[in-house]
Structure 1
Amino acid sequence: MIRRAASAVAMIAAVGLLAACSPIQTARLQEDVDSAPGVTAFYTQPDPLPSGEPGSVIRSAPVLGAPPGSVATRILFRSTDLNGRPVVNSGLLVVPDSPAPAGGRTIVSWGHPTTGVAERCAPSRALDPYASVEGLTDFLNRGYAVVYTDYTGMGTAGPDSYLVGDTAGRNILDAARAARDVLGSTVSDRVVLWGHSQGGQAVLFAAQLARSYAPELDVEAAAVAAPATDLASLLRDDIGDISGVTIGSYAFQAYSTVYDEPLTTILTPHAITALPAMNDLCLLTQNKALHTIAQPLVGRFLTSDPETTEPWSGLLAQNTPGGSALAMPLFVAQGESDKLVRPSATDAFVARAKGDGTTVTYDRIPGATHATVALRSLRSLFDWLHSVGVSGTSTSAT
C-alpha cells in the first residue's frame, strides 16, 4: 500500500512538472511513465484473450488526476477490425462523481486527432491523459460520461489502424459499449460521437456503421471538427511540407500492413528507409526528431501520384467517409485559417453530405486553425446539441 501511495505521489509530481519542462524533458518524463511496471502491465494483453463480445472490458483500473468533480478509469476492451477480426483496444473513461440521474447518463465517445501511431503515443498513456480532449470538462459539467479509444495498435498491441476508417469507426462504437460495460445502469444507451481531425474521420465512419454494427446503441448525434474526409485531397494539399510527409508515413505504412500492399509501389527508397524511425515517434513530445527525419523527404517521398496510382487511389477512396445519409444529425466545424485540413475540402464534404440527405449544421470559424478549431467550436457545439434535443442526462434539452 505504501508503495502504491508513493507511486501515486510521484505521478502527480510528474504531471505538475510538465508545464515547466522543455520538449526533451517532457519526452523523458513520458518515457519514465511508460516504463513504470504498473502502466506496462496494464497494457499487456492476456494470453489467451478471454472470450467476449465487442466492447466487453478485459481489464480496468482507476487513474489519478481526473478533472475536479470526476473519476477516471483506464480500460482495456475488445473491438474488431475492418474484416471483423477481434482486436484489443485501450482507452480512458471519465465520469462525473455525482449520482447518475434516473435513466442514466448520455455517453460521449471521442475520437482523438493524430498523436502518432506507436503504442506509447496513445492518449490514455500520456502524462496528462485529459488535456487533449476538447470540451472534456464542459461535457462532464453537463452530466455526460466521456470515453475515448486509443485506436487499434495504439496503447496496446494490434495491427495498424491509422486512417483505416472501418476499424477506427468500430473502435469508437466499442468504446461506448465498454463504457456501458463498466458503468452499468448509471449510463444509458444514448451516445454522442465527437472527433477532431483523424478522430473526425473515425467518428464519421462510426456514424455510418452505427445501425449495422452497434444497433443497441442510440447514436443521437455526431460532431466533427476539421475532419479528415477526402484523403486524396488531404495528401495532395499537404505532401509538400513536413506535416504531409508525417501523415503520409503513418498512412502508407498502415495501408501497406492492413491491405498487404508493397510500399515500393508508392514510396521512394529514402521514404521506406525512414518509415520505421518516423513511425516510432509521437507528435508534440517528439516533433523536433520528427522534423529532422521528415524535412529531407519533402519532395522525395512519393514515386507517383496516389490519386491516380492503384491500389492506393482505391484505398484512399475506400477510407474516405460519406456516400450515404447518416441516421443522426451532424455538426461540422472548420477553421478558416486551417492549413492542414483546408476549408475547401470540408466545404466539399459538407455539400456531399447534404446531397446524400444528412442533416448538417456547418460552423465555419474565422481565424481558427487546425489546432484551435475544436476548442473554438465548443459553444456552437453545445448550442447545437441543445437544439437537436440532446443532453448529458436525458433526451430532452434542458
Structure 2
Amino acid sequence: MHRRFFALQAVVVAVAVLACTSSIDRRITESIVEEAGDPGFMTVPTHPPPGAPGEIFRSESISSIGDGMRAWRVIYHSRDLDGADVLVSGVVVAPDAPAPPGGRPVVSWGHPTTGAAIHCAPSTSIDPFDLIEGLDDLVRAGYVVAATDYPGMGLPGPAAYLIGETEGNSVLDAARAARALPGTGANEQLLLWGHSQGGQAALFAAQDAADYAPELRLVAAAVAAPAADLAALLRDDIGTVSGITIGSYAFAAYESVYRDRYPGLSLDSILSPEGVRQTKVLAGLCLLSGHTELHAIAGRLLGDYVVHDPGTTEPWATMLRENTPGATSIPAPLFVAQGLSDTLVHPTATAAFVRTVCAIGTRVDSRTYPGTGHGLIALKAVPEVLDFFHAALAGTATSTC
C-alpha cells in the first residue's frame, strides 16, 4: 500500500513538472495515474449476482482519452457457448458533445488477436484504446464505439478464442452496455467492425444479432482479413511461427470449452507429444508482451507440431466448422477488406468466403488492397469503412456480388 501511494505521488509530481498542452502527453500521464490508482476495478466476486445480457456490472470514466471524446471502462454481463452468464470487460468511447436528436449509432468493435489469456485484454493495457482501429475517425463521425475484450480476457471466464458464438455474444452485449451508459447517447442502430479474430467475432455477431439481441437494429457489418475459414487458416499457417501461435491459442481454448461435449477430446489426437506439452505454455503468452518467448517456443516446434490435420480429424473438424462463419446469410450489407500481401489470412481464403456468402444472399462490398499485409489492412480500410457505414445508414450501400 505504501509503495503504491509513493509511486502514485511520484507520477503526480512528474506530471506537474512535465506538464504541457499535448494531448498525447496528457493521455500517457493520465493512463499511468489510472493504472496506479484503481487496481480493484477488474476484481470481481467469484460468484457475481446474475444479470441480463448487456447489463452493466461496473463502470468507470477513463480520462486518458483523446480530445473531444468521453470514455468508460465497463464490466458487463454476456452469455457463453452454453448460455451461462459471464462477466466481460471492455471500453466504450463517445463524442464529448450533446447527442443529436434520435441518438448515435453504435459501432461494436472486435479486436484482432492479442493472446487468449486473462492478462492479454486490450482494456487493461497502458493505452486501452490503442487496438481500436479507426477509433478517432469513428468518433469524429458521430458514432459511439464499444470494444469488448472477449470472455476470459481481463476477467476470469470461459475460453473464447475463435469460438464464434461466445465472441459474437460479447460483441453484441458490448453494444447493449454502450446503450445503457448514461452520457453516450447511443441508439438502437448497430454497426459491426472487426479485424482478423475480431472479423470472425463480428461475423458471428452479425449472423446472430436478430435472435440474440432483437432490440438492436443491425445496419451493417465490416470486417478486415477475417478468420472466416478456420480449417483453411490453420492449414495455411501451421508451418509458420504465427500459425503455431494461433493454433496453440485455438487448440487450448477448444479443449477447454468442448471437452464435456466430446468425451475423450484430447490434444494428442492432432499434436505431437512436444506440441501437447508446449501448447498450454504458448496459450498463456500474450502476442506482444510474450513475443520473444512465443517466437522461441514456436520456432522449435516448426515441422513437429501438428501430426494430424485438425480440419479432417474428428471431433476437431466439427468444432472448426461450427466456428466458421458463413453458414447463414447476414441480413444487412457486409464490407470485406483483404490485403493482397497478407500471408496470415490468405487472399484466396477471403475470396472463397465472399463467394460463399454472396451465394446465400448476403450483400457484400468486397475490396482488395495491393501491397497491404495482415497487420495494416484494417487501418488501410478505415476510410472505405466509414463511407460504407454512411451509405448503409442512408440505405444506399452497394454490393459487388
Aligned counterparts of 2:338 and 2:137: Cα–Cα separation in 1: 20
Q: Distance in 1 between matches of 2:282 and 2:328?
A: 36
* Paired letter, 2:305: F
- Measure the CA separation in 2 of the matches of 1:4 and 1:138: 35
Q: Is 2:371 the counterpart of 1:367?
A: yes
Deviations 1:270-323 (A, max 9, x none): 112112321221112321111011101111111211121100111111100012
Q: Residues 238-265 of structure 1: CA distance to partner in whole angstroms, max 9, x if unpaired?
A: 0001000000000000000000022121
Q: 2:21 corresponds to which residue?
A: none
C-alpha distance in structure 2 between counterparts of 1:374 and 1:339, whole Å: 15
CA distance in 2, matches of 1:282, 1:11: 30
Residue 38 of structure 2 aligns with an amino acid whose one-letter code is: G
CA spacing shift, 1:325–1:110, aligned 2, 3 Å: same
- What is the match of residue 23 of structure 1? none
Inter-CA distance 185–69: structure 2 relative to 1 (3 Å threshold): closer
Distance in 1 between residues matched to 2:339 and 2:34, nearest whole Å: 34
Q: Is 2:362 the counterpart of 1:355?
A: no
Q: Mark the CA change 1:305 to 1:218 in structure 2 (over 3 Å): closer, same or farther.
A: same
Alignment of 1:77-116 (within 5 A): 77-116=76-115
The answer for unaligned runs of 5 or more in structure 2 is 19-23, 260-264
**Corresponding residue of 2:262:** none
Q: Which residue of 1 aligns with 2:38?
A: 38
Paired amino acid for 1:248 = G
The reply to whether residue 146 of structure 1 matches residue 145 of structure 2 is: yes
Q: Which amino acid aligns with 1:284?
A: L
Provide structure 1 residue ranges, at least 5 long, that are not aligned to the other structure.
20-29
Aligned residues: 379
What CA distance in whole angstroms lies between the structure 2 residues aligned with 1:17 and 1:238? 41
User: What is the Cα deviation at residue 117 of structure 1?
Assistant: 0.9
Q: In terms of mean alpha carbon deviation, does 327-336 or 278-287 score higher?
A: 278-287
Match of 1:292, SS? helix
In structure 1, the residue matched to 2:289 is 285
Cα distance in 1 between the residues matched to 2:296 and 2:199: 28
CA distance in 2, matches of 1:10, 1:71: 25
Distance 2:281 2:36 in 1: 23
Match of 1:68 in 2: 67
SS at match of 1:42: coil
Equivalent residue of 1:257, what SS? helix
Identity among equivalent pairs (%): 48
Higher relative contact order (CA 8 A, sep 6+): 1
Q: CA deviation at 1:229?
A: 0.6
Give the match for residue 308 of structure 2: 304
Q: What's 1:203 paired with?
A: 202
Output the CA distance in 2 between the equivalents of 1:381 and 1:185: 22
Identify if the C-alpha distance between structure 1 residues 52 and 3 changes in structure 2 by more than 3 Å, giving closer, same or farther. Answer: farther
Q: TM-score, normalised by structure 1?
A: 0.89
Quick one: structure 1 residues 74 and 35, their matched pair in 2 at CA, closer, same or farther if it must change by over 3 Å? closer
Give, in whole Å, the separation in 2 of the partners of 1:251 and 1:11: 43
Contact 1:8–1:64 (8 Å) recurs in 2: no
Runs of 4+ with deviation above 4 angstroms: 2-13, 15-19, 32-37
Give RMSD over aligned pairs.
2.6
Partner in structure 2 of residue 129 of structure 1:
128
Q: Which amino acid aligns with 1:238?
A: D
Letter in 2 for 1:368: T
The equivalent residue for 2:333 is 329
CA separation in 1, counterparts of 2:184 and 2:130?
28
Secondary structure, aligned partner of 1:133? coil
* Most deviating of 118-127 and 106-115: 118-127
Could you tell me how far 1:208 is from its partner in structure 2?
0.5
Query: Which residue of 1 is the match for residue 345 of structure 2?
Result: 341
Contact 2:95 2:184 in 1 (8 A): no
Q: Kindly tell me: are residues 248 and 16 of structure 1, through their superposed partners in 2, closer, same or farther at Cα, counting changes over 3 Å? A: farther
Q: Residues 314 and 47 from structure 1, CA distance in 2 versus in 1: closer, same or farther, beyond 3 angstroms?
A: closer
Cα gap change, 1:10 to 1:294, in 2 (>3 Å): farther
Secondary structure at 1:163 match in 2:
coil
Note if contact 1:33-1:127 (Cα within 8 Å) is conserved in structure 2: no
AA aligned to 2:115 is G
Are residues 369 and 184 of structure 1, via their aligned partners in 2, closer, same or farther at CA, if it must alter by over 3 Å? Answer: same
* Offset from partner CA, 1:187-243 (integer Å, 9 cap, x none): 101110000000000000000000000000011110000000110000011000100
The equivalent residue for 1:238 is 237
Deviates more, 1:94-103 or 1:245-254: 94-103
One-letter code of the match for 2:67? P
CA apart distance, 1:184: 6.8
- Measure how far apart 1:46 and its partner are: 2.4
TM-score after normalising by structure 2: 0.89
Letter of the structure 2 residue corresponding to residue 239 of structure 1: I
* Superposed CA offset, 1:30-62 (max 9, x none): 9x99985723x2112224312320100001111
More deviation, 179-188/243-252? 179-188
Work out whether residues 134 and 379 of structure 2, in 8 Å CA contact, stay in contact via their aligned partners in 1. yes
The one-character-per-residue Cα deviations of 1:306-353 (angstroms, maximum 9, x if unpaired) are 121100111111100012211111000000000000000000000001
Q: Which residue of 1 aligns with 2:275?
A: 271
Decide whether the 8 Å contact of 2:231 with 2:311 is kept in 1.
Answer: yes
* 1:223 alignment counterpart: 222
| Distance verdict in 2 for CA 1:10–1:292, change over 3 Å | farther
SS at match of 2:101: coil
- Report if the CA contact (8 A) 1:245-1:294 is conserved: yes
